[in-house]
Amino acid sequence: MTIKVAIAGASGYAGGEILRLLLGHPSYLSGDLQIGSLTAGSSAGASVADLLPHLPQLAHRIVEDTTPEILGDNDVVFLALPHGHSAAIGQALADRNPETVVIDCAADFRLQDAGEWEHYYGGEHAGNWPYGIPEMPGHREQLQGAKRIAVPGCFPTGATLASLPAVAAALVVPDLAVVSITGVSGAGKKAAVGLLGSEVMGNLKAYNTAGKHRHTPEITQNLAEVTDEEITVSFTPVLAPLPRGILTTITAPLAAGVTQDAAYETYRAFYQDEPFVHLLPEGQQPQTQNVVGSNMCHVQVEVDMRSGRLLMTSAIDNLTKGTGGAALQCMNLSLGWPEIAGLPQAAVAP
């Protein structure tokens, strides 16, 4: 059986990344996966050659309007749409065919708490779907065969994978100070003065500070799954002049008696069987240049005895492990395909 896959929002950065990875997927190369409907909003009617010239295999394709009717004739639908647009389309697709696998790359179905959704996003809470970080305990099993999947945010992916083992093993008091430095592609492909080259080049800027960023409750929600302690997260994102990449640093008060050897061994054991999380050798720190184009998360953990804190760090490509790669990883689990299929572990260098 050939699986037909559609991408809504195909002209954006997330949609383009999904397409890039699909074109290298073993099932696409064997003919078992077919790229079906490609849809968008304002760019509907344009060609892939004009919108995504880095994908020559699809240059002849024309992007269509995003409607449930066009998307419904597919086995898998990726929703790479702005927040607030996925819920209605996702429900319409479910009504048309409950067996259609719908994978949402926006935030519409990530949060479990309706109050948190209303506070950070506004509007009616659409509910929550199985959450797409397979490396979280129990989530891989939830994703296997799932027909509705919520892909995590890019910041929560890096922050969760950096700190999850420490919180789960009670290496820290779960009062986390999270700083994530991100490339500009995380803001999406839209015209905005603050994203102009003359604004970002040679400049660093914190934004949505002091608990205002929408990914704050998602990080808290994820870590709350592995501890009974109250979780506190102070999250500060920083915009950097990079196309891709997120470097996350997290500090938290060290629990009594935790040594460097114990912390490192905890992380080694937690991630030893995870194909897309790489614990670096002691003494090395994650760098965004070492994950570009890959579905990897590089992590490190260090005990700072002088301050009595644990330092947890991670690096991801926000468009791959942070969005498009995570979406394909979830698709593979949903369809029963090898989880690593089509997902690069090697980065582009230099």
CA 312 to chain centre: 19
d(CA 228, CA 209): 27
Among 349, 319, 284, 344, which Cα is nearest to 26's?
A: 344
d(CA 19, CA 21): 5
- The two most distant CA atoms of the chain are separated, in Å, by 62
d(CA 303, CA 261): 9
- Both tokens assigned to 132: 């797409």
Q: Is 35 helix (H, G, I), strand (E, B) or coil?
A: strand
Strands 175-182 and 148-150: what pairing? unpaired
* Residue of 105, 154, 297, 330 with catalytic role: 154
Task: Determine how many CB atoms are found less than 10 A away from the CB of residue 193.
Answer: 7
d(CA 24, CA 121): 35
Active site residue 330: no
d(CA 287, CA 246): 9
- Cα angle, residue 301 at apex, residues 298 and 213 outer, rounded to 5°: 70
Residue 146 Cα distances to 44, 101, 139, 155, 291, angstroms: 30, 7, 11, 24, 28
Among 129, 151, 143, which Cα is nearest to 14's?
A: 151
Q: What is the DSSP letter of 242?
A: -
Q: Kindly list the catalytic residues.
A: 154
